[in-house]
Structure 1
Amino acid sequence: MGKLINRFTYICGLAIALTCTQVQAQEQPPLDLDNGNAAIEAVIPAVAPAIFQYVSPTGGDATLVLRITTMVTNAWFDASAPYHPTAVGVYSRLGRRPASEAETNRNINIALLYASYHVMNSLLPEQNGLWRSMLENAGQDPDDTSLDLTTAVGIGNAAGMAVVEGRLRDGMNQLGNETRVGPQRDNNPMPYMDYTGYQPINTAYTLFNPSRWQPDLQRQGMGLYKIQQFVTPQYALTEPYSYKSPRKFRALPPLASYHWNFAAYKQQADEVLAASANLTEQQKLMAELFDNKIEALGFSAVFAALSQGLSLLEFIQLDFLTNMAAHDAGIFVWQEKRRYDAVRPFSAIQYIYGSQPVTAWGGPGKGTQTIAAHEWKSYLEEADHPEYPSASTCFCSAHAQSARQYLGSDLLNWSIPRSAGSSRVEPGLTPASDTSLDFPTWTSLEENCGQSRVWAGVHFQAAVDEGRRICGVFGDKAHGYLQKLIDGTASVRKPARKIQSRH
């Protein structure tokens, strides 16, 4: 257990460092297949840095991050099912192995390694060298393509291939071959490109409708700028794991975001400005933590598994469960974001106050200042999608509820150290001295996750409140489905297909 906790601490430090600067690879001790956990000791150390480098530099692009983490943990579950007394896979039925083959972790570890290899080659095929090294460093042969279901290699290969086929055409447009509508229809096919024809009413330069989302013009470097696009709006059409369709779930309308409801519109904008003006070091660090979905969601589940002494099979179950819960919650959130297409705080504040002075956080290292409203920036840059409801809040609520259900307790006791000056936004300045972020319960994690979006200036309070009101149900749904998989009563699942659009 001590070895696993040390490895987990190393991975956490690597995840934080990769969001800030380049780090040199460190030699890791060899994997003990019999007693270790290949998911923690081999797969996560390979996949997490690849996500930061090739997918999401901050770990904040949730739809793409969750696609990877959910498919990988799905592969772990399907690859381990034959070694469980009753469990069946999501996308595979690979039989049952004798109990003697699960007396150590060796067979389960080998199977999950090969399953992960297939999933990552499907999701990030250009990085095949990384995935080959992941197997080779664990003493395995990436060229072993056996499908012999009496062996761990064959089970892992079969499980991984089944998960890849199961999610390849699920609505996320991984292949880039979905028929597109609107102005995009003549573009060359590209993976994960929008095929729904979404177009914002506002431009980065003109706010035609102050109630609706405005893409931000974000600085990328000296003289380099990016105009936001709604990232993967087709996520709303992706097939969930734990329920049939998101259409039965609805968020209440964001009445305060309608500019004709001006008193409420101004009040919620003023609440964001007040939070900005009163930012504490803890709030800044919380905002950065929950912006990084790998650390906040992924590592909280890993910590819970290790601190509570879960077996390898139990670890796999919990990790797949929490990823599935957030994944399925996100499908609902993207449906509602598209429905309401709601304005972000930066647009509303500029609309209300223009060049008038406001008191708020003035930028990295500048503290609270009086600035022109049109110069105000949120502590974190806004994500590339409409505001309502809060996706991060919804992810955390589903994640926390699923963990509570599985573990049978709200206790977490997770403490995350933050060294002086380790802030991503205010490096070298925040925090002024070594500190920690403490989460005694899953509820405290869930609450701070939601409020951090208001502190960061990227959400109104109503978006957070609505995310918490609704999204716990997706933790319950995911837990219910997991239990059917574990007790072997889940129906055989056909390859996923996209939900037909009503747009």
Structure 2
Amino acid sequence: MARRSPRVAAAAMAVAAAAVALTPPPPLGVVAGGALPPPTPPSGIPQVLLTAATAPIPVFSHPAIGAPLQWRTLSAIGMPWFDCLGVYARDDRRFTTWDGAPVRRAPPAARTAEQWGLCAATAMAAAFDHIYGGGTSAPVYAATAAAGYTLPDLNDTACARGPDPSDAGCVGLAAVRRYINGTLDRDGMNADGRAGLPTGAPPRPYLDTRTGYAPVNGPAAGVTALTRWAPLVQDALGFGTYTAQTVAMAQTSLAAPLLVPRRRLWRLRLRPPYRSPHAYAPGFVCGAGAADPDRLCDAARAVVAAGAHLTPGRRTLIRWFDRPAASIADLAFRMLTGGGAPLADYVVAELAINAFAWDATVQVWAEKLRHDAARPATLIPSILRHTPAGAAFTPAVPPPPTPDYPSAVAAYCHGIAHILRALGGGALNLTIPLTEGQVGDGLPAAAEAISFDSLESLATACGESRVWGGLAFPAAVDAGRALGLAVAKEVLRTVACRAPGTPGLPPCERGEGGGGSP
């Protein structure tokens, strides 16, 4: 009997989550009448995935689930998705597994979108269950069971004899188990909390116990190095508890990449944001006569000016882009449902985007730790404290607990846009609806539709939104753009050997590595 899976919920977050298209300076286009028409049900996605996508996954939108964990989750879904494609693809292309292993194809009669959907849904449900626990995957299993789909879970013994292509659920379970055992649980993210700790010590899941990173500035010590990152004291989730930030998941910089060999990521190192950091005393103030060789004052004034007159439209964009795994990553889904892309091309795009996002995260976090650059939230009130706007400066949204340079969001936006453009996304309809209050803080105030004229303008607005919101300096956005594009090009080189013949991919190069090999 064919099995159905529930793990569409996490995919639904990057797939069916609301996407907001942007247009830099022009105002947002608001749909008359307030209410937006219901979306047309996609024709290319198997019903099992749509059923699973109806189950809510609140943990994925929780503020504590930062970019590394979001992309880690989506990669644990996207890689087995691609493995399922090799088994059930109907066209003549011969896909490998995500890491380049040969695939045992299903009999011709079983190569259907529905079989792929069962395989992919099972893999997604099991991946989410493994990462976050049964409490979050239970609603997905319940939704699919109510629709008549039987999905094996991680403890299912019916699949113990190994994957048989005639049973798509068992194939999906085998794919996700292979990913969990060979990659996810060995990726260096300290998921079990024991990395770097002595035997018997209390575990510290996902926390840094290996890099030795410690901020040079802080609420207690004050600012001793002006251009270095400083933790903030912030309200913890709105409950009135105040906590001092620590740099988020420093061990991400040591995690294993998926597709781009680490040696190639290392070649993408960035120049330091400041060439003369020691020229600035902790008490430096703009306009007081001290030298400003790195033009900190110009950068600070540019950020203050960008946020001086924020419109509701720009505030909406700032918040929407602040969670790229739930916004721009959704554009691959729009290729399928709105652009008429074949299911196989959509799955290849998901592979490329999710692998890119993880590999970019690894390198972006390595650069953030290496440069340890101050964010506007601490630097501007210090060096412009003699001006009313500088002294009162506050970012539009709470800044993430990571150094400024390079901007991770800019890297994600430009890299994903490049991948989509290469794979046929240039014709996407970039008019995207938002419901009232969808991005938080009451924004937008009413149902809206946001439009971009190209993927490039969308990516540009995404990067600039970090400056509008006071979250990053322009140099960090520029560096993020350059790094994101470079990683995206490397990812496409490797995907070309995983899915040869896919329109838009370069030719497969002999000896192409992958899987994070050194």
Q: Which range, TM-score by smaller chain?
A: 0.7 to 0.9
Q: 2: CA distance between counterparts of 1:255 and 1:94? A: 49
- The correspondence of residues 125-164 of structure 1 with structure 2, limited to 5 A, is 125-127=133-135, 128-133=137-142, 135-138=144-147, 139-142=149-152, 144=156, 145-146=158-159, 147-150=162-165, 151-164=167-180
- Quick one: which amino acid aligns to residue 203 of structure 1? G
Distance across 2 between alignment mates of 1:434 and 1:134: 28
SS of equivalent to 2:205: coil
Residue 117 (structure 1) aligned with residue 110 (structure 2): no
- Of residues 265, 269, 292, the one that matches 1:250 is 269
Q: 1:93 deviation in Å?
A: 4.5
Q: Does 1:189 align with 2:203?
A: yes
Task: Give 2:463's match in structure 1, choosing from 450, 456, 464.
Answer: 450
The DSSP-based 3-state class of the residue aligned with 2:394 is: coil
Task: Provide the residue aligned with 1:12 in structure 2.
Answer: 17
Supply the distance in 2 between the matched residues of 1:492 and 1:131 (Cα, whole angstroms).
38
- Counterpart residue number, 1:50: 59
Aligned to 1:28: none
For 1:376 and 1:214, locate their aligned partners in 2 and report how far apart those are by CA, in whole Å: 16
* Distance in 2 between residues matched to 1:266 and 1:292, nearest whole Å: 29
Superposed counterparts of 1:76-475, under 5 Å: 76-84=81-89, 85-90=93-98, 93-102=102-111, 104-127=112-135, 128-133=137-142, 135-138=144-147, 139-142=149-152, 144=156, 145-146=158-159, 147-150=162-165, 151-167=167-183, 168-180=185-197, 188-195=202-209, 196-205=211-220, 206-220=222-236, 221=238, 223-245=240-262, 246-255=265-274, 258=277, 260=280, 262=292, 264-354=295-385, 356-359=386-389, 373-407=390-424, 410-418=426-434, 424-425=440-441, 427=442, 431=444, 434-475=447-488
Range with greater deviation from structure 2 (212-221 or 303-312): 303-312
Structure 2 counterpart of 1:68: 73
Per the normalisation by structure 1, the TM-score is 0.81
User: CA–CA distance in 1 between the matches of 2:416 and 2:320?
Assistant: 15
CA contact (8 A) 2:19 2:434 kept: no
CA contact (8 A) 2:407 2:472 kept: yes
Deviation of 1:217 (Å): 0.9
Alpha-carbon distance between aligned partners in 2 of 1:465 and 1:242, rounded to the nearest angstrom? 24
Consecutive unaligned residues in structure 1, runs of 5 or more: 1-6, 16-30, 360-372
Please, what is the CA RMSD of the aligned residues?
3.3
**Match for 2:464: what amino acid?**
Q
1:412 to 1:252, Cα distance in 2 relative to 1, 3 A: farther
Task: Give per-residue Cα distances to partners, 1:44-75, cap 9 Å, x unaligned.
Answer: 4447533114xx36x7x211100001111111
Q: Distance in 1 between matches of 2:123 and 2:436?
A: 40
- For residues 262 and 243 of structure 1, what CA distance do their matches in structure 2 show? 39
Question: Any conservation in 1 of the 2:87–2:103 contact (CA below 8 Å)?
Answer: yes
Q: Check 1:213–1:318 CA distance in 2 against 1; reply closer, same or farther (3 A cut).
A: same
Count, aligned residues: 451
Q: % of aligned pairs identical?
A: 25
Change (3 A) 1:257 1:191: farther
The structure with the largest helix share of the pair is 1
Q: Is residue 118–residue 164 contact of structure 1 (8 Å, CA) maintained in 2?
A: no
Q: TM-score, normalised by structure 2?
A: 0.78
Question: Cα distance, 1:474 vs. partner?
Answer: 1.5
Q: Contact (CA 8 Å) 1:337, 1:388: kept in 2 or not?
A: yes
1:487 aligns with 500
Equivalent-residue separation in structure 1 for 2:452 and 2:19 (angstroms): 21
Distance across 1 between alignment mates of 2:493 and 2:216: 40
Higher relative contact order (CA 8 A, sep 6+): 2
Q: Deviation digits for residues 172-213 of structure 1, max 9, x if unmatched?
A: 1222222159xxx99522221112221111113411211110
The runs of 5 or more residues in structure 2 that have no matched partner are 1-11, 21-40, 281-290, 502-507
CA displacement, residues 12-31 of structure 1 (integer Å, 9 cap, x when unaligned): 3599xxxxxxxxxxxxxxx9
Q: Distance in 2 between matches of 1:381 and 1:86?
A: 46
SS in 2 for 1:51: helix
Q: Please give the alpha-carbon distance, in whole angstroms, between the structure 1 residues aligned to 2:239 and 2:114.
A: 51
CA distance in 2, matches of 1:136, 1:420: 32
Q: Structure 1 residues 422, 249: CA separation in 2 closer, same or farther (over 3 Å shift)? A: closer
Choose 142-151 or 159-168, whichever is displaced more. Answer: 142-151
Give the AA of the match of 1:483.
A
The answer to whether the 8 A contact 1:323-1:399 is kept is no
CA distance in 1, matches of 2:268, 2:492: 18
State the alpha-carbon separation in 2 of the partners of residues 338 and 37 from structure 1: 42
AA paired with 1:12? A
The 2-side partners of 1:230 and 1:269 are apart by 22
Q: Distance in 1 between matches of 2:432 and 2:301?
A: 31
Match of 2:286 in 1: none
The separation in 2 between residues aligned to 1:89 and 1:155, in whole angstroms, is: 12
1:486 Cα deviation from its structure 2 partner: 1.6
Q: Distance in 2 between matches of 1:105 and 1:123?
A: 27
Change (3 A) 1:439 1:254: same
**Which residue identity lines up with residue 229 of structure 1 in the other structure?**
T
* Distance in 2 separating the partners of 1:47 and 1:177: 31
Give the superposition deviation at 1:156. Answer: 1.1
Matched residues in 2 for 1:46 and 1:257: separation? 53
Superposed CA deviations along residues 3-42 of structure 1, whole A, max 9, x for unmatched, are xxxx999943599xxxxxxxxxxxxxxx99x974358514
Asked if structure 1 preserves the Cα contact closer than 8 Å seen for 2:410 and 2:459, the reply is yes
1:68-93 per-position Cα deviation (integer Å, ceiling 9, x unaligned) = 01111111111221123411112564
Post-superposition offset of 1:255: 1.8
> How far off is 1:411 after superposition?
3.3
